[in-house]
Structure 1
Amino acid sequence: MATAPKYLQGQDLESTVRKLIDGHEELYWAVAWGSMSPLAKHLLSNAAKVKRFAIGTHFHQTDPDLLQALRDVPGARVVPNSSAGTFHPKIYLFRTASKFSLVLGSPNFTRAGFGINHEAALYVEGDTSDALYRDILHAIESAWTESNYISEDFLRAYRLKHRATQAARADLEKDLPINMPTGDSEYRNLLDDEWSEFIERVKSDPHHDVEGRVGIMDHARVWFSQIPRFADMTEGQRKAIAGTYARNESKPAEVPDLDWAWFGSMVGAGVFKSLVKSRPEGFSAALDFIPRTGSISENDFERFKGRFLESFEDAERGGGLATASRLLALKRPDYFVCVDSANKDKLSEAIGVRKAYLTIDTYWTHVIRPLLCSPWWNAERPVDDLDGRIWDSRMAFIDAFCYER
């Protein structure tokens, strides 16, 4: 008959499982994920004891190095991914003759699961004639039978998927710094608005022509498509992208007569304006870190920021959030909004962050990352032509209703 369960947590988890590996003759396990931890290496040194080991790979969380090592363990198999649900057990069953030990709870077979995580499990001992043993063994056998051997082709493909999703997994491990605005904020629902509410606000822009704003972004998108490097554009195109045209300043033929000061006027940023005209290579190298299409990571932004700030090293004044975010918003208006003196008050209220805390160093953390969680940002692209074009530049279009004269 099984003994009364013993509660395990913290260091007791790792030490108990390690002792059970040493003390028993046979191991029957089913776990959702695993990594190449010290405990895993201890298991591999006792590989002959492994009779059944079914390990999952949903969300590509299992370490491919562990799967590689398990290829040499006859009792190890990998559970195929299925849309029917996630393989999520954490069962560690041990047997010697007619006696069994069981650890059942929350810890995956990972370094964190048997280390820094706050996990909890029950430890039970008993006879193999117990119903509990039979039920647990049946569950493991069923999972193992439906699993696959770890082939080299599977492992090669899995390594690619694991690497491709590594950045997303790392991002999920961070606490998202979302601050909710106060009740008197003019746009207190910006972070949780649906697309219908967001587009209504954009189209209600009291200061500017929405079609004109869309036209600016359309031209910028075409220029970056035809001339990927900022430094290779004409001086007129660079000034348009950088927002350094005065409103009544004449423009060359390749630059449409639009108000390029929309989305952040940088006319007063003298040093920036001069560098855009005569030494654009630094800004160009910085923008090269921002992909023209697809997702953008915090690392992409950090690399941009580093190179952007280096561009001002020999100048009398350095670069800041306004000039940096203007360039970002014109290259990738779906991901970035220009933050300058004209919209900083309302935007800081809307995202619940004090205006003084909005700097180039905090831009990704306090502005972009929270806004990427918004329903309107994650909405599908509308079919309507104008709405679809606004959606293509949706982050930059926050300026349409946060702008103050």
Structure 2
Amino acid sequence: MVDIKLLKADAVNKNLCRLIDEHDEFHWAVAWGSMTNATTTLLKNSAKFRNVTFGVAFSQTDPDLVDALQGIERARVATKFAGGTYHPKVYGFRSGDRAAAIIGSANFTFGGLGSNWEASIRVTGDIADPFFVDIFNFTKESAKFGEAITPDFAAAYRASYRRASRMAKPPRDPMDGMRLIKPAGFTSPLASMNWAEYVAEVRASAHHDIEESLTLLRVAQEWFASVKSFADLSAGQRKAIAGLIGERQKTSLDLDRDWGWFGSMRGMGDFANRIDENDRHLARALDSVPQKGGVTRDHFRKFVKHFQRAFENSTRMGGVPTASRLLAMKRPDIFICICKPNIVEAAARMGFSRTTLGLDDYWDKVIEVLKLAEWYNTDKPDNAEGEIWENRAAMLDAILYRPS
């Protein structure tokens, strides 16, 4: 026989704290959690965990709780539920033949245990009752969706939580775009730099004339906006955008500037040939990246597919330097050209291996790291720094550039 009582949010909190202290085993499956007073009580009793699995969908669980669960045996975060959202609120307890459970709408959060209008039921009774058999089977099954919390996961999740706070619709999977980022990428100086620090470093560059750099990017943007396709640009404009133009080819005022900034591609013979030929695959590659609005991983994948097709009959494939040069000219707010003069510093600040970076992981190891950075996610300033903000990814080269 079981005893049932209806609980509101504040009563859930009081009952949870009491049951945590009273019982020997915890069998939980909970969608989200925060660092509440009940959390303090829970963590003091971590030896009692049997199957305790918290969800992290949409990055709504407090990263401090995820950190605190590291190293606790039988503590899990639900990352393997792919069909929808891991969304239970089941708190099961056992001591010998006695059992208790709280089930309802209340998450293990400040709202769920206090400020929200919640409804849950507390059930107490004998462990052999079919209700409790089902409860403990459910929490055991829920644990199969979980993984243990490692330091690497905790660092990635904290970065995901910061990212989610800036997004109108965060991804359901908090590890979306995070799995290939090395732990150093989450804690690097680049990720923690604020906007004022970023601008100060850009302006302190010993190798970029900032105003000339911004003018170059502005001219490239005007060219892209003036045509429907990269193929419609003149040969000189295409070579300038590609970082290949020679002094004799600078036949107009717009062309007559140092197009070697943001990655000179002089010496890239096969790439130069494709630009000279106005290769249709290169045009399709750049045309697949929108001139305005969001740029997604799928846009990038389409770019890579067409870009690589341009080199199918070449002795040398186009790689990260040539591809990212084109991308940085098309969307300097999203992409940075990674090439020989800046790759050592970029690898150190972003936490990737400079010897293995390729087009297959450029998005994850470079763009996803930039998207986590505080300076990258600041609102556009309404002063002269606004133009730097509009080109903030490409202008990172002013910070990272180290001449050989």
Q: Deviations over 1:13-61 (max 9, x none)?
A: xxxxxxxxxxxxxxxxxxx999xxxxxxxxxxxxxxxxxxxxxxxxxx9
1:205 corresponds in structure 2 to 205
Matched, 1:225 2:228: no
CA 174–345 in structure 1, closer or farther in 2 if over 3 Å, else same: closer
CA 350–7 in structure 1, closer or farther in 2 if over 3 Å, else same: closer
Conserved 8 A contact 2:240-2:255 = no
Matched, 1:116 2:145: yes
CA 377–228 in structure 1, closer or farther in 2 if over 3 Å, else same: farther
Percent identical across equivalent pairs? 29
Conserved 8 A contact 1:329-1:336 = yes
- Scaled by the length of structure 1, what TM-score is found? 0.60
* Mapping of residues 241-260 of structure 1, within 5 Å: 241-246=241-246, 248-253=247-252, 255-260=254-259
Where structure 1 has 5 or more consecutive residues not aligned to the other structure, the ranges are 11-31, 35-60, 65-83, 120-164
Conserved 8 A contact 2:177-2:368 = no
Give, in whole Å, the separation in 1 of the partners of 2:266 and 2:252: 20
In the alignment, which of 179, 184, 194 is matched to residue 183 of structure 2?
A: 179
Conserved 8 A contact 1:263-1:399 = yes
Q: CA deviation at 1:175?
A: 3.4
2:266 corresponds in structure 1 to 267
- Scaled by the length of structure 2, what TM-score is found? 0.60
The one-letter amino acid of 1:393's match is N
2:300 corresponds in structure 1 to 301
Matched, 1:374 2:373: yes
CA 272–202 in structure 1, closer or farther in 2 if over 3 Å, else same: same
The one-letter amino acid of 1:245's match is I
* Mapping of residues 141-160 of structure 1, within 5 Å: none
Give, in whole Å, the separation in 1 of the partners of 2:3 and 2:177: 41
Matched, 1:332 2:361: no
Conserved 8 A contact 1:287-1:304 = yes
Q: CA deviation at 1:287?
A: 1.5
In the alignment, which of 158, 169, 172 is matched to residue 169 of structure 1?
A: 172
Give, in whole Å, the separation in 2 of the partners of 1:296 and 1:87: 37
The one-letter amino acid of 2:196's match is S
Root mean square deviation, CA, Å: 4.3
The one-letter amino acid of 2:3's match is A
1:354 corresponds in structure 2 to 353
Q: Deviations over 1:209-243 (max 9, x none)?
A: 11110001111111111213111111111111111
2:282 corresponds in structure 1 to 283
Give, in whole Å, the separation in 2 of the partners of 1:392 and 1:254: 23
Q: CA deviation at 1:173?
A: 4.2
CA 354–100 in structure 1, closer or farther in 2 if over 3 Å, else same: closer
Aligned structure 1 segments of 4 or more residues deviating by more than 4 angstroms: 3-10, 61-64, 84-94, 99-105, 112-115, 170-174
Question: Which of the two has higher C-alpha Rg?
Answer: 1
Q: Deviations over 1:117-155 (max 9, x none)?
A: 469xxxxxxxxxxxxxxxxxxxxxxxxxxxxxxxxxxxx
Give, in whole Å, the separation in 2 of the partners of 1:403 and 1:348: 12
Q: Aligned to 1:343, what secondary structure does the other structure show?
A: helix
Matched, 1:240 2:240: yes
Q: CA deviation at 1:100?
A: 11
The one-letter amino acid of 2:302's match is R
Give, in whole Å, the separation in 1 of the partners of 2:56 and 2:269: 55
Conserved 8 A contact 1:92-1:104 = no
| 346-355 or 328-337, which deviates more | 346-355
The one-letter amino acid of 1:200's match is A
Give, in whole Å, the separation in 1 of the partners of 2:227 and 2:186: 43
Give, in whole Å, the separation in 2 of the partners of 1:397 and 1:199: 10
